[in-house]
Structure 1
Amino acid sequence: MNVEQLREYCLSKKYVTESFPFDEQTLVFKVAEKMFALCSLEKRPASVNLKCNPERAIELREENEDIIAGYHMSKKHWNTVCIEGQLSTVFIEELIDHSYNLVVSGLTKKMQRELGFIKN
């Protein structure tokens, strides 16, 4: 996967926006104004920081050399995933989905209803 494919996949999800809130090199993806993915446009090989539940984060780091504790993020809740390494595109998309779903599940029930994630 490359950065453009990552960008297209993230933007294909409901209510996702992209911005550069920190600097001109760090692309941030948010759902309902909450970050779920951050990607440096300068660093090579390309990587993305993704939110992850703490138990799974540890397992992923132990099983994959292309996944490390989140760079400049909470090491408990974020992983840095090399997208130009040995991980398959399908697996990276699953990790993006997990991050996105964690953020959506953390929204208030009212916000989830307003956005159509849950029905009345």
Structure 2
Amino acid sequence: MSLFDRKDFDAFVTNQPGTSFVDQWDGHVAKVGGKVFTVLWGEGERARLVAKCPEESFEILTALEGIRQAPYFAKRKWVEIGRNSPLSDEELVHYLTRSYELVAAGLTKKLRQELGIRLSS
């Protein structure tokens, strides 16, 4: 599995409650409750992912090669992860799941219930 491949990316996203896709900004955008939580840009070796992260993760991630602040996204909350980053597939799943949780937590309780979203803690 590689989240940098569209088929695997789509399988991961559709496994999360309340998600949808839209192709915009020259990328394949995944949303929860109408809000972006990750984007797949490019293909092959040029593929990259965008994810929301907490401040402490931002500092750690952007210190790694192949990961930087995501252009066009809110400063210090979004990272762009290149295929050449040192993150394993399990770590990518963790960070994209965390991004989903962060964005879903910002939805109203009513909308989360309608979408069948249960957040831990």
Query: Under TM normalisation by the shorter chain, which class is it?
Result: 0.7 to 0.9
Aligned 1:66-105 pairs, distance under 5 A: 66-105=66-105
Query: CA contact under 8 A between 1:46 and 1:83: conserved in structure 2?
Result: yes
CA distance in 1, matches of 2:82, 2:70: 11
Q: Which residue of the other structure, out of 3, 6, 11, is the alignment partner of 2:5?
A: 3
Query: CA contact under 8 A between 1:54 and 1:76: conserved in structure 2?
Result: yes
Aligned 1:20-39 pairs, distance under 5 A: 20-22=23-25, 25-39=26-40
* Counterpart in the other structure of 2:53: 52
Structure 1 window deviating more from structure 2 (81-90 vs 26-35): it is 81-90
- How much does 1:44 deviate? 4.0
CA distance in 2, matches of 1:43, 1:57: 25
Structure 1 runs not aligned, ≥5 long:
none
Paired AA for residue 19 in structure 1: V
CA distance in 1, matches of 2:49, 2:115: 26
CA distance in 2, matches of 1:102, 1:57: 13
**Matched residue count:** 115
* Counterpart in the other structure of 2:110: 110
For the residue of structure 2 that corresponds to 1:29, the secondary structure is strand
Paired AA for residue 46 in structure 1: A
Paired AA for residue 37 in structure 2: F
Aligned Cα root-mean-square deviation (Å): 1.9
Structure 1 window deviating more from structure 2 (51-60 vs 96-105): it is 51-60
For the residue of structure 2 that corresponds to 1:68, the secondary structure is strand
- The normalised TM-score by structure 1 is 0.83
Task: Name segments (4+ residues, structure 1) moved above 6 Å.
Answer: none
- How much does 1:84 deviate? 4.9
For the residue of structure 2 that corresponds to 1:19, the secondary structure is strand
Query: CA contact under 8 A between 1:66 and 1:87: conserved in structure 2?
Result: no
